Amino acid sequence: MTQAALCRHCGGPVPADLAGSFCCRGCEGAFHLVEGLGLEQYYARRTTDPAARPLRPDDDSDRYHDFSAHVTTDDKGEASLHLMIEGLHCGACIWLIESLLNKQKGVTWARVNMTTRRLVVRWRADQIEPGTLLAPVIAVGYRLVPYDPERLGAETQRQEKELLRAMAIAGFAASNVMLLSVSVWAGHFSYMGPATRGLMHWISALIVLPAVAWCVRPFARSAVAALRAGRTNMDVPITIGVTLASLMSLWETINGGEYAYFDSAITLLFFLLIGRYLDSRARGRARTTVEHLLALDAVAVTVLEDDGSQRMLPPHKVAPGSKVLVAAGERIGVDGRIIDGRSDVDTSLLTGESLPVAVATGAQVFAGTINLSAPLRLEVAAVGERTLLAEIVRMMEVAEQGRARYVALADRVSRWYAPVVHVAALATFIGWTFFTDTPWQQALLYAVAVLIITCPCALALAVPVVQVIASGRLMRQGVLVKSATALERFADADTVVFDKTGTLTLGKPVLAEDGAWTRDDLMAAAGLTPASRHPLARAITNACPAAPVAEGVAEVPGMGLEIAAQGIRLGSRRFVGVPDDSAGDGPELWLARPGHAPVRFSFSDALRADAVQVVAELRRMGLAIELLSGDRPAAAAKVAEALGLAEWRAGCAPSDKCARLAELAAQGRKVLMIGDGLNDAPALASAYVSMSPSTAVDVSQTAADVVFQGARLVPVIETLSVARLSRVLVKQNFVLALGYNVFTVPMAVAGMVTPLIAAIAMSTSSLVVIGNALRLSRRRG
């Protein structure tokens, strides 16, 4: 078994389903490179030898050679192209495609994202044509189409539908055959004539054999691909055991034998398909974050022409230097500089800052933020892949690829388990055939018993059954586990890194009752605030919803509210004429009325009700805790002091958070990141494991492995506790499954176990594993 056949990038077994000698084209390229063939020679062989190009029958890749209509070129002459790759299976595919592209003349950057199957390539437009650039990738068998996020989940949905159909067929067949088997089993203890037993067996064969032929395909494809690549996986003994049990049962039926094992074969398939489908569904919940990020960039941009007319364009079609108009309440679609206007901009998606930022002429604004107060005119500085939002997309892609290298515990076990099973079965057959007088048919029956009794049903269920029960327990408490390996990683976490706004705090400003204002002051201010969408104005409205709404209120963008005829103002200290030297900490609004001294309203972002208790419990569990915030140092310091956190950082950009997590990872720490803003999304994706509240933006919820509901942080404690208990139960299940094999395999090899008894013993071991996992469903105080 050669290492080159394994995924060189993700470090685990390659899930391949393509025809050919290797599990996928990427692994084939990696194999030949390791063998010394070289990338150029490999490409030459693939393009000249038709037998070396195992394209799918419906492949019509010639249709995809002209991509010129989808190329965008910037003012520096650099062209870029976004495509989706069909036929992408593993990390080795990424390596092969990027290697082929980076060897092309003029290419400056090429990257493939495994999750979205998205290819982004940039090159000098005057040095190579797009058709020539992409020809090597198409020639080795990959299909390239314009990027379309809606097509990303099509392959996963197809596989899940296939598994669901197979599971339904296997369940129907198993339930019917089991009725016949009960009669046959009863006949072993009372008189049943050979003709009646034979009829039962033939009816069972007519039901089971077509069902097995259909339902074993998901396992058989994986097993065949693994064997062709010179390796094994858990699907190999499953396929061999089910196939041999079915064929031996047919042989026994044809020859009027007493035993047939159709029920064992189809029932085993049914339970294995349930586990495979549930695992696929768990993985399918983790929709890619990049899709949601790209959706933020999908707004239309209003471009102002030189003649004064307006034109709506998608952001990537807007040229740098153009003038655009952004209406109040509209999401900004480009990076640019304000040339006219004053407003408030909600930057919470990018910075995590809970309060809008006042902007005026000359200020920089970024794609993905929201213009709140008044229209703005911008001069476009960057669009498409050069915006700050696109930079976060790239950070997300890099982080997701890094996480894909995590290898599940069950996959690590399968590397050595399956070969041992095969060797034991083969040795049993050879030993009984050549060293005893036993007929080969009987020796094969003993070998089948070994395969069935060692069939990794219990081992294959050891992890999924615990995950399903643990996920169900957490779901009942408002916690959604989205990643199939999340609980394994949660159990290993030794450091917790919190975001501040919206995570440790509620993320909404609340009026502080500090004695600086009276009820009359609040009533007067609340009469003005319904005219504004500013979060501080809304906080005052919420604090006094019964206040009568004043008339004649006007909003001065970036400054505040006023009734000019009465000389009443509510806004910043400069707007109402308060000197800056009396500034206090935190957000504030000032109310100025004729005949009254200015009144200060201060606001705070309250901690979640159980934040202090949760942080204390995390310390008791032995976890180190840090705070990384994009907010102001004063606000972050106040929260850190309230929670007793010695390690905290403020003013962190997304790249700063990722850099800190990388530092912790380099120290050997396994970090649980908990955050809610778009600025947290790259950190959530790059962390060892991550968690997000349900109030978070869609992007952060998608990036996180776990999403929790409610206004409390106690789900963090519950998830960690369940994960640690799950790890214990998984290890116990492995011990039970392997211990069962150690006890029963010698008996099967010695010929003391028939396939029927082996099937019963195998099913019993599975029930024991499931019963042990069910302990997790009990609530512990």
Residue 341 CB partners (closer than 8 Å, separation 6+)? 360, 361, 374, 375, 376, 377, 557
Quick one: CA torsion of 303, 306, 310, 316, rounded to 10 degrees?
Answer: -20
* Amino acid in the structure at residue 648: W
Cβ–Cβ under 8 Å, residues 497 and 629: no
Cβ–Cβ under 8 Å, residues 96 and 15: no
Helix and strand numbers, DSSP H then E, in the chain: 27, 27
Using alpha carbons only, what angle is made at residue 713 by residues 708 and 717, rounded to the nearest 5 degrees? 90
Distance CA(675)–CA(706), nearest Å, equals 11
- Residue for token digits 């299976």? 89
Distance CA(292)–CA(92), nearest Å, equals 26
C-alpha distance from residue 85 to each of 61, 138, 298 (Å)? 12, 10, 21
- Over its C-alpha atoms, the chain yields an Rg (Å, rounded) of 32
Q: Let me know if 191 is exposed, middle or buried by CB neighbors in 10 A (0-12, 13-18, 19+).
A: exposed
How many CA atoms, within 13 angstroms, populate the side-chain half-sphere of residue 517? 24
* Amino acid in the structure at residue 432: W
Distance CA(316)–CA(170), nearest Å, equals 50
Tokens of 477: 């408490």
Tokens of 621: 């569990």
Distance CA(390)–CA(109), nearest Å, equals 15
Q: Which helix (H) or strand (E) holds 599?
A: strand 599-607
**Residues facing residue 335 across a β-bridge:** 382
What number of other Cβ atoms are within 10 A of residue 174's Cβ?
Answer: 24
Distance CA(483)–CA(237), nearest Å, equals 27
Instruction: Write the secondary structure of 519-573 as one string of H (helix), E (strand) and C (coil).
Output: HHHHHHHHHHHHHCCCHHHHHHHHHCCCCCCCCCCEEECCCEEEECCCCEEEECH
- For β-strands 495-498 and 624-628, DSSP reports them as parallel
How many CA atoms, within 13 angstroms, populate the side-chain half-sphere of residue 386? 21
Distance CA(726)–CA(470), nearest Å, equals 7
CB environment 62-78: b (16+ within 10 A), e (fewer): eebeebeeebbebeeeb
Dihedrals φ, ψ of 240, to 5°? -65, -45
SS3 563: strand
Residue 420 CB partners (closer than 8 Å, separation 6+)? none
Dihedrals φ, ψ of 83, to 5°? -135, 160
Distance CA(492)–CA(206), nearest Å, equals 49
What number of other Cβ atoms are within 10 A of residue 771's Cβ?
Answer: 11
Q: Is 307 a catalytic residue?
A: no
What number of other Cβ atoms are within 10 A of residue 377's Cβ?
Answer: 17
Q: Give the strands of the sheet with 568-571, arranged side by side.
A: 505-511, 599-607, 588-592, 568-571, 560-563, 554-556
Question: Among residues 499, 605, 631, 676, which one is catalytic?
Answer: 499
Q: Which of 386, 397, 402 is nearest to 118 (CA)?
A: 397
- For β-strands 560-563 and 364-365, DSSP reports them as unpaired
Cβ–Cβ under 8 Å, residues 233 and 23: no
Catalytic residues, by residue number, are 499
